[in-house]
Amino acid sequence: ATEDDIVPLSDPVFIASSPHPVTHLSIPSGTIVSVPIASINRSTSFWGSDAKVFKPSRWIEEGGIPERAKEIQGHQHILTFSDGPRKCLGKGFAVSQMKAVLSVFIRTFTFEFRDGPGTKVGIGPGVLPRPKIVGEERSSVPLRVRRV
């Protein structure tokens, strides 16, 4: 924040140590303010109880996106590339490149988990979420790739 500011909250927050609800946040000058993009993209309050599940049908099926998630501005109601005048300049290029690469991969190869279809995949710790095999130390998901 470049100057002291007060940000009103849309819904009051109740704290056990205070009889009064918190209705605003005081932000002193010099405070670093960031948007928790990964948390919002996986928030159960926006996306429902299966928020952390890879579920492409949310964006494919009619009515797949929960009403609350529609409040999120941005491409397909996720903040991966941010939005507005300061959105990621490479968003369009990145999306088109990924579509091109995936279409070639899907036509050319089959993909299987190294340990079979029952493999459990979780999220590894770090600044950026990375997939990892549950029970393994490294953030990686080894695959068997075969030419079709």
Domain coordinates in residue numbering, the chain: 1-33, 37-88, 99-148
pTM, rounded to two decimals? 0.54
The predicted structure's pLDDT at residue 10? 87
**CA 61, 66, 70, 72 torsion: positive or negative?**
negative
Task: Yes or no: say if 19 and 11 are a contact pair by the CB < 8 Å rule.
Answer: no
Q: Decide: helix, strand or coil at residue 116.
A: coil
- Alpha-carbon distance of 89 to 96, in angstroms, equals 13
Write the single-letter amino acid at 102.
Answer: L
Which pair of tokens denotes residue 84? 């507005």
Q: Are strands 121-124 and 130-133 parallel, antiparallel or unpaired?
A: antiparallel
- pLDDT tens digits, the chain, 148 residues: what are they? 889 999 999 889 999 999 999 999 999 999 998 888 889 999 999 999 999 998 888 888 888 899 999 988 877 888 888 888 888 899 889 989 999 999 999 999 999 999 999 999 998 876 667 889 999 988 889 999 999 9
State the Cα torsion 35-38-43-46 to the nearest 10°. 70
The predicted structure's pLDDT at residue 75? 78
The predicted structure's pLDDT at residue 72? 86
The predicted structure's pLDDT at residue 74? 78
